[in-house]
Amino acid sequence: MRDVSLWRAVLGVDKTVVERVEYDTAGQVVVAHVRPTARARGRCGVCRRRCPRYDGGEGRRRWRALDLGTVRVVLEADAPRVRCREHAVVVAAVPWARHGAGHTYPFDATVAWLATTASKSAVTQLMRIAWRTVGAIIERVWADVEAGTDRLAGIRRIGIDEVSYKRRHKYLMVVVDHDTNRLLWAAPGRDKATLSGFFELLGPGRCSEITHVSADGMPFIEAVVAAYCPDAVRVADPFHVVKWATDALDRVRQASWAEARRLARTEPARPRGGPPADAPPRPQTERAKALKGCRFALWKNPEDLTRRQREQLAWVAATDPQVHRAYLLKEGLRLIFQMPLERASPALDRWIGWARRSRIPAFVKLQRSIVVQREKILAAIEHGLSNGLVESTNTKIRLITRMAYGFSSPQSLIALALLSLGGHRPTLPGRT
Ligand SMILES: [Zn+2]
């Protein structure tokens, strides 16, 4: 065939003979008939060792390649089987695609890059594949990254966390590296056995090199860390401590909202259609509505508030002293993590006293947990694990879990999270 090297470059294939290329008008697809070069032929699909041919397998097969302009492209080739000493009868390896994959290497690489960069609908529409297929592709791309790198070498300071997915019914255990701010590992589950899997993977030598472990104080995590890294300094996870305070604040807001709703029921109902000009005011109804709407204003960091949210906050300060005090308690605790240790230590004690006397049940209760965690909270500040990086990794993992609805397996979700946050972000094929 003419222009063989042109077609090899255009299709992004290597160690491949392009026999001929045709345009299938009915299917509106370019079909490139290919075969492996002599050196790449007759190899086990799993280990790539040279093996004797077994049979012709199921005949011709197709692999989706990257589109040419707006036209879909497939590679078509024989898919014979070989008999491997180790892997028995398997389909022979092809140099243009991973074993068992229905897409070429450049196609897989493009999908992996897109999945870590663009929205779900952008990936599925541009590549013309289902989100399920995206999941399968990123799983195999991640498996190759993992096989080719030693990501767990030299880790010293780690954070352990649980992340919910599938609308909060299922959990992943995740481990992040505080020094590089990378996601190191994740697995489905929320128990001792799941977390032990990480330390077993690490092995005793590397476990003994871990100097600091942050966690949210769950007893089962404490037990596993004590068993595998008895000498590591245990610190509180600032992200969780602040989240406890945010949750306590939300309980106070909800209680105030429920009270306003109860009182609102005694106010006169309004007829359908807009209220008449002389309608009596309904202050509790308005209050309930405003309390419902201010949730995000209370939850966000003050520096990130929009103008409207700043107004909502001012309204809370003026009309609901208890919710406003709860807000100040939450913010006070958050700010302690931004202080140097010598200021943070007395500030934390003052905060505990303030919360204890607040007469707000949610914060009196939170204060008790803070007393229990006091040393670990101060250790987090002392060892510099209190920065916003920990929080941002947590937030990003949570965003990925939301994107991952619709994946059929948690392994796809884990692969997407590790590709995005594991320090080995995919690159587009053919770029350096
Ligand atoms: Zn083999």
What pLDDT, on the 0 to 100 scale, is given for residue 407?
83
Most confident range, picked from 93-102, 169-178, 407-416: 93-102
Q: How far is the CA of 85 from the centre of ligand 1 (A)?
A: 7
Cβ atoms within 10 A of the Cβ of 147, count? 7
* Higher pLDDT, residue 402 or 194: 194
Q: How far is the CA of 201 from the centre of ligand 1 (A)?
A: 25
Strand order in the sheet with 157-165: 182-188, 170-177, 157-165, 212-215, 233-236
Q: How far is the CA of 199 from the centre of ligand 1 (A)?
A: 30
What pLDDT, on the 0 to 100 scale, is given for residue 228?
96
Number of residues written out for the chain: 432
Q: Is the pLDDT of residue 38 over 90?
A: yes
Q: How far is the CA of 49 from the centre of ligand 1 (A)?
A: 6
Mean pLDDT, all residues of the chain: 90
Q: Is the pLDDT of residue 167 over 70?
A: no
Residue 31 CA to its chain's centroid (Å): 37
In 114-248 the beta strands, taken as DSSP E runs, fall at 157-165, 170-177, 182-188, 212-215, 233-236
Q: How far is the CA of 106 from the centre of ligand 1 (A)?
A: 24
Global pTM value: 0.81
Alpha-carbon distance of 59 to 75, in angstroms, equals 14
Q: How far is the CA of 73 from the centre of ligand 1 (A)?
A: 30
The letter for the amino acid at 196 is S
Q: Is the pLDDT of residue 387 over 70?
A: no
Q: What is the mean pLDDT of residues 205-211?
A: 96
Dihedral through CA 5, CA 10, CA 16, CA 19, nearest 10?
Answer: -70
Q: How far is the CA of 84 from the centre of ligand 1 (A)?
A: 5
What pLDDT, on the 0 to 100 scale, is given for residue 386?
59
Q: What is the mean pLDDT of residues 65-82?
A: 96
Q: What is the mean pLDDT of residues 264-270?
A: 81
What pLDDT, on the 0 to 100 scale, is given for residue 425?
92
Alpha-carbon distance of 144 to 363, in angstroms, equals 48
Q: Is the pLDDT of residue 169 over 80?
A: no
Q: How far is the CA of 198 from the centre of ligand 1 (A)?
A: 28
Q: Quick one: CA dihedral 158, 161, 165, 169, positive or negative?
A: positive
Q: Is the pLDDT of residue 45 over 90?
A: yes
153: phi then psi, degrees, rounded to nearest 5:
-80, 135
Q: How far is the CA of 74 from the centre of ligand 1 (A)?
A: 26
Q: How far is the CA of 57 from the centre of ligand 1 (A)?
A: 16
CB 36 within 8 A of CB 78: no
| Alpha-carbon distances, residue 378 vs 248, 349, 389 (angstroms) | 21, 11, 18
DSSP, residue by residue, 61-96: EEEEEEEETTEEEEEEEE--EEEETTTEEEEBPBTT
Alpha-carbon distance of 143 to 99, in angstroms, equals 12
Q: How far is the CA of 240 from the centre of ligand 1 (A)?
A: 47
Q: What is the mean pLDDT of residues 283-312?
A: 86
Alpha-carbon distance of 274 to 343, in angstroms, equals 55
Residue 388: pLDDT band (50, 70, 90) is: low
CB 186 within 8 A of CB 173: yes
- Mean pLDDT is lowest, of 3-12, 140-149, 364-373, 383-392, for 383-392
Q: How far is the CA of 411 from the centre of ligand 1 (A)?
A: 24
Q: How far is the CA of 55 from the centre of ligand 1 (A)?
A: 16
Alpha-carbon distance of 419 to 278, in angstroms, equals 61
Q: How far is the CA of 81 from the centre of ligand 1 (A)?
A: 11
Q: How far is the CA of 40 from the centre of ligand 1 (A)?
A: 14
Q: How far is the CA of 45 from the centre of ligand 1 (A)?
A: 6
Q: How far is the CA of 2 from the centre of ligand 1 (A)?
A: 35
- Spatial neighbors of 50 by CB under 8 A, at least 6 apart, are 42, 43
Q: What is the mean pLDDT of residues 400-415?
A: 84
Tokens of 37: 């070069």
Q: Tokens 């879909």 — which residue?
A: 72
Q: How far is the CA of 54 from the centre of ligand 1 (A)?
A: 13
Tokens of 166: 């599938």
Q: Tokens 């075969």 — which residue?
A: 35
Q: How far is the CA of 80 from the centre of ligand 1 (A)?
A: 14
Most confident range, picked from 213-227, 343-357, 370-384, 402-416: 343-357
Residue 204: pLDDT band (50, 70, 90) is: very high
Strands 81-84 and 53-55: antiparallel
CB 123 within 8 A of CB 136: no
- Mean pLDDT is lowest, of 44-58, 145-159, 258-272, 387-401, for 387-401
Q: Is the pLDDT of residue 329 over 90?
A: yes
Q: How far is the CA of 51 from the centre of ligand 1 (A)?
A: 8
Residue 1: pLDDT band (50, 70, 90) is: low
Q: How far is the CA of 98 from the centre of ligand 1 (A)?
A: 14
In 119-260 the beta strands, taken as DSSP E runs, fall at 157-165, 170-177, 182-188, 212-215, 233-236
Q: How far is the CA of 153 from the centre of ligand 1 (A)?
A: 28
The letter for the amino acid at 313 is L
End-to-end Cα separation, the chain, in angstroms: 31
Tokens of 306: 């929009």
Q: Tokens 């397998």 — which residue?
A: 57
What pLDDT, on the 0 to 100 scale, is given for residue 394?
72
Q: How far is the CA of 276 from the centre of ligand 1 (A)?
A: 81
Alpha-carbon distance of 322 to 359, in angstroms, equals 9
Q: How far is the CA of 43 from the centre of ligand 1 (A)?
A: 8
SS3 77: strand
CB 76 within 8 A of CB 22: no
* Higher pLDDT, residue 384 or 198: 198
Q: How far is the CA of 218 from the centre of ligand 1 (A)?
A: 44
Tokens of 344: 């943070």
Residue 375: pLDDT band (50, 70, 90) is: very high
Share of the chain above pLDDT 90, in %: 65
70: phi then psi, degrees, rounded to nearest 5:
-100, 5
Q: How far is the CA of 412 from the centre of ligand 1 (A)?
A: 25
What pLDDT, on the 0 to 100 scale, is given for residue 391?
63
Q: What is the mean pLDDT of residues 50-79?
A: 95
Q: How far is the CA of 87 from the centre of ligand 1 (A)?
A: 4
Q: How far is the CA of 94 from the centre of ligand 1 (A)?
A: 13
Q: How far is the CA of 140 from the centre of ligand 1 (A)?
A: 18
Cβ atoms within 10 A of the Cβ of 13, count? 24
Residue 188: pLDDT band (50, 70, 90) is: very high
The number of helix segments (H) and strand segments (E) in the chain equals 15, 12
Q: Is the pLDDT of residue 320 over 60?
A: yes
Alpha-carbon distance of 241 to 369, in angstroms, equals 9
